[in-house]
């Protein structure tokens, strides 16, 4: 995608779909397929095989070979399904302990425009398994990451983004998220909702929340590039309270098909320990969440 300052032009030509063959990953694959069909994208299907998982089994050497062969067959099935949809696709199988590193390296090598991944969103312990991969990706990836959480249903019969919610805190990362959300909204002819959640007023002095809301709604409108206003008539929503609750309340009210968030880069270990707003939104959302950094 590129922002010209006049119009928003989406160009998602390369998708990296990371799968562990779970039910969550299968649902994420439906979204990868739908996006690829819409943008005529090519898809790289990646499975990262942990070689230590089978070592505790009897006949560990045979178990490792069997696991690898099973993964190869599953990848071949995934490729066949994509080719039925007339999508250019290839597969990659990597044997390593560091799933996140492999995904990030391949995304960089292939100039992936978006990474698609599913997550179980199991809370603290869950984040140390598949959840930790999604958690690290959303804070470290140079490419946007589309995460399909545990409450997201597979698109039926085909993927359509009709309502896009973009939450912003007016930071540089959040502004980039607005631009990306605009590209999706324009491409799919979707209605755009811009959202900002303020903390609840504290203290003894009364606050004119209506005036405050109007001021922030005006700031939200200023995020829309000039020429984009010819086609984009966003609904600007200002709420008060906990950011995650405000974002999800809006998304549920309008039956959003996509939530877009800006995220900040954090270290590998901090990403595991510190869940943050983005991952909690992903864990609780009924629709996919697209995150990106500036």
Interval 94-139: pLDDT, tens: 988 899 999 999 999 999 999 999 998 654 333 334 467 888 898 8
Quick check: do 2-148 and 163-292 share a fold?
A: yes
pLDDT reported for residue 179: 86
Between the alpha carbon of residue 174 and those of residues 17, 45, 80, 238, 293, the distances in Å are 24, 29, 38, 15, 8
Q: Indicate the CATH number for domain 2-148.
A: 3.40.50.620
CA 97 to mean position of chain CA atoms = 23
Instruction: Read off the pLDDT of residues 252-284 as tens digits, 9 standing for 90 and up.
Output: 999 999 999 988 654 444 444 345 788 899 999
Residue with tokens 């997201």: 152
Exposure on the CB side of residue 25, measured as CA atoms within 13 A:
18
pTM: 0.87
Within the chain, strands assigned E span 2-3, 8-9, 14-18, 42-49, 89-95, 114-118, 145-148, 163-167, 191-198, 235-240, 258-262, 289-292
Percentages (nearest 5) of helix, strand, coil residues in the chain: 45, 20, 35
Calpha distance 293→262 (Å, rounded) = 6
Calpha distance 292→8 (Å, rounded) = 16
Calpha distance 43→40 (Å, rounded) = 10
pLDDT reported for residue 123: 45
pLDDT reported for residue 36: 97
Domain boundaries in the chain? Answer: 2-148, 163-292
pLDDT reported for residue 127: 37
Q: State the pairing for strand pair 114-118/14-18.
A: parallel
From first to last of its 294 residues, what are the pLDDT tens digits of the chain? 434 443 445 679 999 999 999 999 999 999 999 999 999 999 999 999 877 665 555 554 556 678 889 999 999 999 999 999 999 999 999 988 899 999 999 999 999 999 999 998 654 333 334 467 888 898 899 999 999 999 999 998 789 999 999 999 888 877 888 988 988 898 999 999 999 999 887 766 556 788 889 999 999 988 887 666 667 778 999 999 999 999 999 999 999 999 999 886 544 444 443 457 888 999 999 999 999 986
pLDDT reported for residue 42: 98
Exposure on the CB side of residue 138, measured as CA atoms within 13 A:
34
Architecture of domain 163-292: 3-Layer(aba) Sandwich (3.40)
Between the alpha carbon of residue 153 and those of residues 49, 56, 236, 289, the distances in Å are 26, 35, 27, 13
């Amino acid at each position: 995608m590129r922002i010209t300052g006049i119009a928003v032009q989406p160009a998602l030509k390369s998708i990296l779909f990371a799968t562990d063959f779970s039910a969550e990953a299968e649902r994420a694959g439906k979204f990868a397929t739908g996006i690829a069909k819409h943008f005529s994208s090519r898809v790289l299907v990646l499975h990262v095989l942990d070689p230590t998982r089978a070592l505790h089994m009897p006949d560990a050497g045979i178990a490792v070979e069997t696991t690898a062969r099973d993964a190869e067959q599953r990848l071949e099935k995934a490729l066949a399904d994509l080719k039925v949809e007339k999508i250019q696709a290839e597969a990659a199988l990597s044997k390593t302990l560091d799933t996140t590193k492999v995904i990030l390296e391949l995304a960089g090598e292939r100039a992936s425009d978006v990474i698609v991944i599913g997550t179980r969103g199991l809370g603290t312990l869950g984040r140390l398994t598949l959840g930790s991969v999604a958690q690290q990706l959303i804070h470290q990836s140079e490419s946007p990451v589309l995460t399909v959480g545990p409450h997201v249903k597979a698109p039926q019969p085909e993927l359509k983004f009709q309502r896009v919610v973009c939450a912003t805190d007016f930071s540089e990362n959040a502004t980039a998220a607005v631009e990306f959300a605009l590209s999706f909204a324009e491409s799919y002819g979707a209605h755009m909702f811009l959202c900002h959640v303020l903390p609840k007023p504290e203290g003894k002095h009364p606050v004119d929340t209506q005036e405050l809301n109007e001021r922030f709604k005006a700031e939200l409108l200023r995020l829309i590039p000039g020429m984009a206003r010819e086609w984009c008539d966003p609904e600007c929503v200002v709420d008060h309270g906990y950011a995650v609750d405000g974002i999800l309340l809006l998304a549920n009210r309008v039956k959003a098909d996509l939530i877009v968030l800006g995220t900040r880069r954090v270290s590998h270990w901090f990403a595991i320990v510190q869940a943050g707003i983005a991952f909690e939104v992903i864990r609780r959302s009924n629709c996919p969440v697209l995150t990106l950094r500036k």
